[in-house]
Structure 1
Amino acid sequence: MGRLFGTDGVRGVANSQLTPNLAFRLGQAGAYVLSKEHPHPRIVIGKDTRISGDMLEAALISGICSVGADVLRVGVLPTPGIAYLTRTLDVSAGVVISASHNPVQDNGIKFFDATGFKLPDAIEDEIESIVLSEEKPWEVPIGGEIGRVIEVGDAGRRYIDFLKESIGRLDGLKVVLDCANGAASYVGPAVLREFGVEVIPIFNTPDGININAGCGSTHPEQLQRAVLEHDADLGLANDGDADRLIVVDELGNILDGDFIMVICALAQKEKGNLAENAVVVTVMSNLGLHIALKEAGITVYETQVGDRYVMEELLKTGAKLGGEQSGHIIFLDHNTTGDGLLTALHLLTVVKERQAPLSQLASQMQRLPQVLLNARVKNKERLMADERVLAKVKEAEDALGERGRVLVRPSGTEPLIRVMVEGPDQDKLTQLAQSIIDIINQQDA
């Protein structure tokens, strides 16, 4: 068994790679490591809507209770909602069972500490070492010392009330909401209606199998059509666990996280409340974002890909707004993780206050052409060091010169190598990106 923890917890094909036995052991080790300071710890557990969630939840709960910790079960809830409850329910840790935007066969397990933040590498390493060695450094409880399960029946209500704390009314807006048949299917439409938004929900009937299937933030085509069909002000698309957001303007144009960050950052700066006059982004963010923010006098900090690295830089610099092109946007003043619904509320607030269509607000950033391609591979690490692959990347970089850039990186959550090429000529970018994909595929054969 290789390294368990990736950039977003432990992920794999449910019941094949991520088995109930592994979930049980993660529950034991996680509860032990995260609860050392507590004589009778409590841990929050929530999940998205995929069918394997029940199986993994049962195994995790068994593992946690077997080391003497209680479980507060919140059921289906967005990841940011679970993070919020973890830091407000007097617990030792939180656990999310979700594979985010991945297809239904995948699932994942990620932990939050008592403050609602994702775990640092050192803590993950400690948990992983116990799991892989199968040691049991804890005393096995018996009798009344075994943990129990406590149902949190008002978890969704608590999360909605939290979202209502910092945003005003949004009456008059008409919005299509794509819930990805995921964790936002229940609370998403409810929270927008409580703000006075006219909501047209789509893909909000999860059956355990249809999560992210042709819908959500990675498949916004149906949302584009629905916005135009209903003459809506805009469309919102969450992913399976609702920690990211992609939007569609009133003209049917898709706007990614870069546009959202530019719109919100410029609005906050105008009000004088953009913390440290700075925004944190990853190396995947479009050059157009850098240009728009720098022209406005806003400092841009750049990190490697992964919302955990964005969070680290936010904490380091004192900035409060950051995120990824993929739609993970963090408003650190409000929550400790990317939050698709919170991001939507902030964006809708700007639209309402400016009384301007979203397409006009988006025009504050001019997106440079960018091509993103993926290669599904057997061994990411070997290919990232392959001399022929490196030579082809260098060739593409030389072809672009100072007019563009090339980024090749392994996915942190899937068996993929991602290729991003950016510059002024779309056709040339496509050609260069495909040439890199071709050599990766050749070397992977």
Structure 2
Amino acid sequence: MEDCTVGLLISVSGIRGVVGEGLTPEVACRFGVAFGGWTGGPVAVGRDTRPTGEMLEMAAISGLLSAGSDVVRLGVIPTPTVLCFVRWEGLSGGAVITASHNPISWNGLKLVSPEGRFLTAGEGEEVLKRYREGPSRGSWEDVGQVAQRRDAADLHIEKVLSSELVDPEAIKERGFKVALDAVDGAGSEAGRKLLERLGCEVVPVHCRPDGRFPRGPEPVPENLGELERAVREHGADVGFGLDPDADRLSLVSEEGRAVGEEYTLALAVRFVLGKEPGPVAVNLSTSRMVEDVAGEFGVQVYRAPVGEVNVLMEMLRLRAPIGGEGNGGVILPEVNYGRDSLVGMTLILQYLAEADEPLSRLVARLPRYVMRKATYRRPGLDREAAMERVRSHFGGEDLDLRDGVRIVRDRAWVHIRPSNTEPLIRVVAEAEVTADRLIDEVMGILEEDDG
């Protein structure tokens, strides 16, 4: 049988590819058929603002309908909103047309389980098997129906504001001024609506949902210069930077300085554990700031392989009140079973309201580490051979081999792993003073001749 996955990147969260190359309307339709057959019931479909989104949305919907699934179209909506909608409206699944932080030429499909979380690796394999085996469609009388819902963001916001950790009135009393950079993505309208519900004066930065991405799509400090300037010029209390599908959140302090996406989760964990102490789950590449914060409350941090569903499943096992990923992904299972920037913004505002201190001071109280990230790629890279060299080199040290190789040295660590979504090897290191030596050591091993 023809391999229909050529040019696609397949991970536990779904598929991604460059539109017109690995990812085409035909692929989206075929995955829609496979997913519709797997769910056996109604599916919510949403998308981010990429110019190719509507084309792929229509193709995926056609596949779902031909498999007999009814479809609820949510329109342009944050990824976490789709998860929230599936969970609280009791649907059989969800599909999000997005490539998250990837460049504008990319797009993808993220598949959501009936529980309102992304598919596990095993569930994803079941869908992929159906995809590879070919369409299994019903007759004309079995074709599904389409319904429109335009209130998904409102439902999501209500769930966030109904959290036991949130006091909307206390936030409103502070009258925060907030600069919001949504990179013209799916969080442009929902993010602004949430902040206005919380009584905030919103300074919009890149909040036209046209999907043209006026800055780099990742909400990392080097991409948030305009948000920093907006905070300074307008005297904002905080700046919030989102990625295109609004599941990740970065912070800019009242001083107009991007503090780094790792601080989002650390601050959220400190706030939540002060209300509800309990275990915390994060991925293997998350800053050890979270472990230090958890230690203040006498609770343990558990690490899971990269991929938010892996973290979520560990959180559910532990009944953890808070967790997530250090790339700005906050997971509050009381509200949502995935990374959620609306949850993150609300928790940060609640923390600021209760602490009655500026964000810069709250950040200054966190432990200080230096994190450095690098990528290794070259034509014809044999990733397995490269990873074997890494395992051999560090064989006598404290290793975690569940997701690539993670080495711990006292209060420093380095994590080397093949990317789930791109053809390269990622290296993340963290130390108290400098992570350069760890990065250089690993890159030297990767650059050795495969022979």
Asked if the contact 1:215/1:222 (under 8 Å) is kept, the reply is no
Aligned to 1:198: 201
Distance in 2, matches of 1:294 and 1:394, equals 29
The farther-off stretch of 371-380 and 52-61 is 371-380
The offset of 1:18, in angstroms, is 1.4
Distance in 2, matches of 1:269 and 1:13, equals 41
**Amino acid aligned to 2:121:** D
**Amino acid aligned to 1:46:** G
1:252-401 matches, cutoff 5 A? 252-271=256-275, 273-274=276-277, 277-377=278-378, 379=381, 381-387=383-389
Selected match of 1:161 from 158, 163, 177:
158
State percent identity of aligned pairs: 32
1:184 corresponds to 2:187? yes
Distance in 2, matches of 1:158 and 1:380, equals 47
Selected match of 2:15 from 1, 10, 13:
10
Asked if the contact 1:377/1:415 (under 8 Å) is kept, the reply is no
Distance in 1, matches of 2:319 and 2:359, equals 29
**Amino acid aligned to 2:294:** L
Aligned to 1:126: 126
Asked if the contact 1:405/1:422 (under 8 Å) is kept, the reply is yes
**Amino acid aligned to 1:114:** P
Asked if the contact 2:9/2:420 (under 8 Å) is kept, the reply is no
Alignment coverage as a number of residue pairs: 430
The 1:431/1:245 distance shift into structure 2, 3 A limit, reads same
Distance in 1, matches of 2:310 and 2:155, equals 28
Distance in 1, matches of 2:417 and 2:180, equals 32
Q: Deviations over 1:220-257 (max 9, x none)?
A: 23222222222211111111111111111112333345
The 1:87/1:296 distance shift into structure 2, 3 A limit, reads closer
Aligned to 2:56: 56
Aligned CA-pair RMSD: 2.7
**Amino acid aligned to 1:28:** V
The offset of 1:401, in angstroms, is 5.1
**Amino acid aligned to 2:436:** T
The 1:402/1:191 distance shift into structure 2, 3 A limit, reads closer
The offset of 1:436, in angstroms, is 3.3
Distance in 1, matches of 2:309 and 2:214, equals 23
* Secondary structure of 2:74 counterpart: strand
**Amino acid aligned to 1:370:** M
1:174 corresponds to 2:177? yes
Asked if the contact 2:262/2:326 (under 8 Å) is kept, the reply is yes
1:89-104 matches, cutoff 5 A? 89-104=89-104
* Secondary structure of 2:104 counterpart: coil
Aligned to 1:436: 442
**Amino acid aligned to 1:111:** L
The farther-off stretch of 316-325 and 83-92 is 83-92
Aligned to 1:38: none
**Amino acid aligned to 2:427:** V
Distance in 2, matches of 1:32 and 1:263, equals 41
TM-score after normalising by structure 2: 0.88
Asked if the contact 2:281/2:315 (under 8 Å) is kept, the reply is yes
TM-score after normalising by structure 1: 0.89
The offset of 1:186, in angstroms, is 1.4
